[in-house]
């Protein structure tokens, strides 16, 4: 389990919370410098470092006990033990909540999404600078149509962050995994959500990043007055059952009352259809959008940027 969690953490191209917090400084002080300048108080930064919250860190092979020595995208390690993936339907809310907690940033985004979105998404970790303006145009058209980017389009914004930072990574990792993979998209909203602790606490889209954990832990530190509805308890029991079943058998449904229908990985629809884990809403089209972008534009890895 420990290993799985680390794998999970490293695989995706997350960007750091403090990028957001420094964005205002960034925009007021410079126009066209590299994203890496956003990482303050660290010397010689060429690559994302552990100074960021979650960005993968490539460690030299010569360093003491290096964990990650190549870009995870290039990794050929394909373990074959079973893997349980659970993503929260509004995972990307973890970023949007903090944007909404910074009024200056929120305004900048609304006024100039073409400038701000690439930074928030760290698009230059993956795409060539020359291509980014066109990619952003495509993002704006696909996710927002003619609508403004901001609170009035909260769910679109959350979908964008969920897709780019979580779902496409889960899809790719699941498709490329060496063993059996169970993927849940968790959609139930407990009576409390981590949204209330992030930014100004106003984000509505849920369940957001970490919310699934509320089924396993009361988390009285963060939610000292937490109460449970009957449904909260029921879902929590199901989740615990699924986890125990997975630990015992590698199959989260064997000893649990969860029923799901198999999904077709090749059709981009990786999410198992199990209540209460999946809403009817299908996200294939969103995953397809990113496959198309990644097929159409040059992509680079963390260690190989010559491509641009
Ligand atoms: C997804 O997996 C394929 C096959 O390993 C790889 O070539 C591709 O670069 C991956 N895409 C992303 C976005 O990681
Ligand atoms: C929890 O309830 C107590 C007693 O009503 C109150 O003083 C406290 O502020 C509450 N804490 C939170 C985080 O809501």
What percent of the chain is modeled with pLDDT above 90? 41
Distance, CA 271 to ligand 1 centroid (Å)? 18
Peptide bond connecting 12 to the previous residue in cis, omega within 30 degrees of 0: no
How many Å lie between the centroid of ligand 2 and the Cα of residue 223? 9
CA of 74 to the centre of ligand 1 (A): 8
Residue 70 has what pLDDT? 82
Rg of the chain over Cα atoms, rounded to whole angstroms, equals 20
Ligand nearest to the CA of 220: 2
Query: Residue 48 — pLDDT band, cuts 50, 70, 90?
Result: very low
* Interatomic CA distance for residues 213 and 219, integer angstroms: 9
Q: Whose CA is nearest to atom 9 of ligand 1?
A: 73
Question: Helix, strand or coil for residue 84?
Answer: strand
Confidence bin at 65 (pLDDT 50/70/90)? confident
Ligand having the closest approach to the CA of 177: 1
Nearest atom of ligand 2 to the alpha carbon of 223: 13
Ligand 1 lining (C-beta closer than 6 Å): 73, 172, 176, 294
What's the whole-number average pLDDT of the chain? 77
Q: How far is CA 61 from CA 58, 69, 125, in A?
A: 9, 6, 22
pLDDT of 305 higher than 70: no
Average pLDDT of the residues in 125-140: 96
* pLDDT score for 186: 83
């Amino acid at each position: 389990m420990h290993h799985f969690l680390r794998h999970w953490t490293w695989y995706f191209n997350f960007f750091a919370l403090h990028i957001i917090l420094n964005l205002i400084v960034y925009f007021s002080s410079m126009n066209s410098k590299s994203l890496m300048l956003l990482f303050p108080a660290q010397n010689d930064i060429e690559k994302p470092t552990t100074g960021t919250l979650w960005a993968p860190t490539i460690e030299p092979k010569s360093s003491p006990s290096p964990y990650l020595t190549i870009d995870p995208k290039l990794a050929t390690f394909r373990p074959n033990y079973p893997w349980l993936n659970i993503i929260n339907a509004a995972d990307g809310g973890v970023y949007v909540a903090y944007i909404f907690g910074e009024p200056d940033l929120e305004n900048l985004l609304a006024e100039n999404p073409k400038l701000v979105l690439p930074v928030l998404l760290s698009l230059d970790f993956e795409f060539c600078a020359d291509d980014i303006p066109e990619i952003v145009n495509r993002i704006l058209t696909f996710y927002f149509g003619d609508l403004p980017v901001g609170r009035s389009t909260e769910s679109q914004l959350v979908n964008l962050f969920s897709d780019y930072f979580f779902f496409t990574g889960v899809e790719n990792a699941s498709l490329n995994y060496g063993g059996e993979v169970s993927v849940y998209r968790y959609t139930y909203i407990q009576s409390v959500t981590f949204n209330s602790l992030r930014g100004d606490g106003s984000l509505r889209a849920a369940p957001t990043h970490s919310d699934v954990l509320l089924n396993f832990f009361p988390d009285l530190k963060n939610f000292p007055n937490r109460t449970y509805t009957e449904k909260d308890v029921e879902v929590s029991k199901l989740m615990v059952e699924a986890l125990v079943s997975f630990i015992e058998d590698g199959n989260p449904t064997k000893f649990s009352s969860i029923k799901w229908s198999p999904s077709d990985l090749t059709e981009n629809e990786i999410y198992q259809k199990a209540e209460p884990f999946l809403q009817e809403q299908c996200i294939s089209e969103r995953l397809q959008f990113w496959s198309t972008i990644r097929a159409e534009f040059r992509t680079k890895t963390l260690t190989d940027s010559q491509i641009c």
